[in-house]
Structure 1
Amino acid sequence: MERLENGWLNTADPNSVISITTIDWATAGHQPAVNITRLVPANGVLDRDHRHENLPVLDARLGSTGLRLVETLNDAFAPNRRTLGQE
């Protein structure tokens, strides 16, 4: 979590993550997942190098998922609040 807070979340644009439709968001995440899956070695063992190479993609997906979840919960429980990215 600390890596996400000090890395991806510092550079992310919350509005670009929460403003797209759920289908567009899921579609955008599909191809990186396919690419990572294609890089799994034949023996199925995910070594340190594989993890290190794919960590930025995983961080971006996990971070964007978290932002979208926050937005969904805020919509459900605090509908009159300001959205992420508003000042």
Structure 2
Amino acid sequence: MFTPRQIAKKFVAQEEKEGVGARVYRSIGSSRLRSLDPFLILDEASVGLPGGFPDHPHRGFETVSYVLPTSKGHMYHEAFLGNNGELRPGGR
């Protein structure tokens, strides 16, 4: 059963330098909110063309990416081992 809770803390996400042509706003994982178990990082990212992020490891945790339904773009992802995919707005 769902139990309503009150918001304990509210603040504006900080812009972080990440990748090429990317604007990343980090809330969880920033210096203001380091630990919110089980989450390590929560980012809102906007990446222009050409752009992206350099190779980086994802060991010991899972990532979740979602393109908002109102987005006019999409996201292409390619992992180090060659796994790849395309995300469209709203998970289509």
Give your verdict on TM over 0.5.
no
Q: TM-score if structure 1 supplies the norm length?
A: 0.24
Per the normalisation by structure 2, the TM-score is: 0.23
More helix by share: 1
Larger RCO (alpha carbons 8 Å, 6+ apart): 1
More strand as a share of residues:
2
